[in-house]
Amino acid sequence: MRLTPAACAAVLIAFGAPAHAGEPATPAAMARYAEQLLDAQKLAVDGPGVTVLVARGDQLLYKGARGLASVELGVAMQPDQLMRIGSVTKQIAAAALLKQIDQGKAALDDPLSRFLPDYPNGAQITLAQLLNHTSGVKSYTGIAGYMGNPVRSDLSTAELVKVFKDLPPDFAPGAKWAYNNSGYVLVGAVVEAISGKSWHESIDGLLLQPARISSIHYPAGDRLLKGMAQGYTVAEGGRVVPAGLISMTQPHAAGALVANTEGLWRWNQALHGGRLLSPALYARMTTPEGAAQAQRYGYGIGVGSLRGQPLFSHGGGIHGFVSMLTYLPQTQTTVVILRNSDGPGLPMDAVARKLAAFAIGEPFTDPQPVAVPPEQLKAAEGVYARDGQPPRTLRVKDGRLHSQRGGGSSIALVPQGEGRYAFPDGLSWLQVERGSDGRPVALQVYSNGEAEPERWVRRGDLPAELSFITLSPAQMQALVGDYSAPEFAIRVFIDEQGRLKAQAAGQPAFELKASTPRRVHVPQVDAQLDFSGDDGPAATATLLQGPAKIVMARR
């Protein structure tokens, strides 16, 4: 039958309610759950580590650590270890500019040209557009080759702005949304123009000192920070190696700060507790607007939901470190996760959401399968589409219904009955929507504990299943090389085990799976690379990922 609004409500009552709704977690219960969840991640005890904090208001529910702060020296990670927080810096930089606006020194609708008169097209770019990634300014971290040697150089703010200021914009200001590190360098430059001090000194004076936060810092090159963990990455063959070099002048207001979990907890309390900004500007910061609405992005903060509660979050990734900061304003719940490795191995957002859900008394549980007739599984097969996203294919394999996004990995779903299928992580599930004739017409996809689903419309029957071939050494060698375009660059190489791999700057290497001698796939990131020519070295590689298409020339 077709799902009417009333039927949808019934589905939500039956399936969307938390599995074990109850009282908020006690510190003892939270500690047991957090330890069990970290155990399940199977992090190496002799490798890079992680720190985790969960709090509700002023009450600390859990603080712990795993792994090593220094692999070379065998130093255990401590719960208060300092680490680079990457793009979590953005919300702190955004709040500094908003504080200056509260003081009457600027306005969100002010043009960039008021503060940087020589910036090209600055009269058409507003401060609000810098804050929510709708300025169209070219992101300097996407410049081909920039994240290699150039990012190691110490630069002043003016020198860093000069790197990207004359590059053609990606789109007209306000027309679209694209995550943009250059925009936050410009936020920092505006903060400096207003205050006459460096952006990080301004953050300290405007925000951190008044809030009495003493464990968020700018890591100046000549400054020793007690308790700073070493950063690591993963090289070919899974070896842990020191992180790539980067001058911390370059992440700037887009990602240069370091902190520990306690400092970010105190930051959440100050920002979301009304101690830093006026209610009007705080509302602007946490309310997506314009072209940023579809992405649910405010000013340095992502806006979503978890178990029916509003959720504010942002992650960070920088050489040697990753971070996740989450906040549920309705229950004043904070979750902080910091890790001193930029390699794969810990699903930061999923772990943070599970910890937050447990803290509020609405935990996620591992889905348990129920018996479903084979014909019901078969009926759900097909290709489902949603604008701007890779297609989702449902296919029965080995007696189980699998979901696959684009060229990504195939995930076996857990049948729950009545057309509902859960993902094995316990956070996400989908509901098959049927038309009046009983046939599937769409999927209602509930992701990461969100209360509102995305609707994926059925577009057709199954295509032929993608099969992979083994390339000869000569066929692989023809694809090897460095390929670049203004917005992206990638290196294709053969590793010590004879596997064809690709690696973008600052990212881990992924093994490539070939469907033809000139077409390869990166299942982990739903991407495809098409190489030019029929034989001999390829001249170009075309990256296809979601709606993006980037043609890169061999260097």
Going by C-beta distance under 8 Å and a sequence separation of 6 or more, which residues neighbour residue 444?
3, 8, 11, 430, 431, 433, 453, 454, 455
Task: Give, for all 555 residues of the chain, the pLDDT tens digit.
Answer: 222 322 232 222 222 333 445 789 999 999 999 999 999 999 999 999 999 999 999 999 999 999 999 999 999 999 999 999 999 999 999 999 999 999 999 999 999 999 999 999 999 999 999 999 999 999 998 887 788 889 999 999 999 999 999 999 999 999 999 999 999 999 999 999 999 999 999 999 999 999 999 999 999 988 899 999 999 998 877 789 999 999 999 999 999 999 999 999 999 999 999 999 999 999 999 999 999 999 999 999 999 999 989 999 999 999 999 999 999 999 999 999 999 999 887 889 999 999 999 999 999 988 899 999 999 999 999 999 998 777 899 999 999 999 988 766 789 999 999 999 999 888 899 999 999 999 999 999 998 888 789 999 999 888 776 788 999 999 999 999 988 877 678 889 998 788 899 987 656 678 899 999 999 988 766 688 999 998 899 999 998 876 678 888 887
Which amino acid, one-letter code, is at 393? T
C-alpha–C-alpha distance, residues 198 and 190, integer Å = 10
Q: Burial, 29: exposed, middle or buried (Cβ in 10 Å; 0-12, 13-18, 19+)?
A: middle
Across 270-304, b (16+ Cβ under 10 Å) vs e yields bbbeeebbeeebbebbbebeebbeebebbbbbbbb
Tokens 């589905």 correspond to what residue? 11
Q: What is the DSSP letter of 197?
A: S
* 422 to 3, 352, 368, 413, 529: CA distances (angstroms): 19, 19, 9, 6, 31
Question: How many helices (H) and strands (E) would you count in the chain?
Answer: 13, 31
Strands 420-422 and 429-434: antiparallel
Point out which residues pair with 384 in neighbouring strands: 392, 458
Q: Quick one: which of 506, 502, 484, 483 has its CA closest to 492?
A: 502
Q: Which residues pair with 338 in a beta bridge?
A: 51, 323
Tell me the C-alpha distance between 108 and 196, whole Å: 19
Structure confidence at residue 366 (pLDDT): 84
Contacts by residues 479-482 (CB-CB < 8 Å, ≥ 24 positions apart): 479/518, 479/520, 479/531, 479/538, 479/541, 481/537, 481/538, 481/554, 481/555, 482/554, 482/555
Asked if 356 contacts 326 with a C-beta cutoff of 8 angstroms, the reply is yes
Give the angle 68-73-76 at the CA atoms, nearest 5°: 30
Alpha carbon distance 397, 394 (integer Å): 10
Q: What is the pTM of this model?
A: 0.81
pLDDT at 14: 26
